[in-house]
Amino acid sequence: MLILASASETRAQLLRAAGVPTTPYPARVDEEQARLALLAEDASPRDLADALAEMKARKVAERFPEALVLGCDQILEYKGTVYAKPETPEDARAHLTELRGRTHKLMSAAVLYEKGRPVWRTITDAHLTMRDFSDAYRDDYLARNWDTIRHSVGGYRLEEEGVRLFSHISGDHFTILGLPLIPLLSYLGQRGIIPA
């Protein structure tokens, strides 16, 4: 049984759909404070994603030291700036306005802990180009979708109406959903944790 150190229902569903028995156990960490501290130390967006994923895995592994624990994190980066989940509709409006007509990068990091120590990690990325949508569409989109997009970096969910914001996507679909699923399944299969 894999413990998922996340409250993300999307990640849990992806793992279950792939035949990986999963128990969600959200890590109680102050992501925002950790993010700010790492950025103050000039951590790259890639290092930031990795560090936050490991922090979550380690926190839950301390509670379940004999378990296999998966920590994940996703970072949106555009021109060196890291975007967090929008706190208000105004934040989401600003994010979408800044990203509109441009290409940004999503990085998804995963770290596995086993018996209280890290045994595997990966980071995958995808490049997404937003179309030049109108202000009216942006505002209507936010009004219709705020309840779900407030939990997503960039202010969109590609698995929902957010897909209409884009003109081009390059990269793995699972990375965009926040889980490097293919490399993870490969590792679990090599280890014999799931049938290979």
Q: What are phi and psi of 163, to 5 degrees?
A: -60, -25
**73, 10, 7: which is closest to 46 by C-alpha?**
73
- Report yes or no: 108 and 180 within 8 Å, Cβ to Cβ: yes
- Report yes or no: 77 and 146 within 8 Å, Cβ to Cβ: no
Of the candidates 30, 42, 47, 73, the residue annotated as catalytic is 73
Q: What are phi and psi of 179, to 5 degrees?
A: -145, 115
Q: What are phi and psi of 120, to 5 degrees?
A: -160, 145
Concerning whether 73 is annotated as a catalytic residue, the answer is yes
Give the pair of three-digit tokens for residue 144.
Answer: 């219709």
Looking at this protein, which amino acid is placed at residue 1?
M
Active site residues: 73
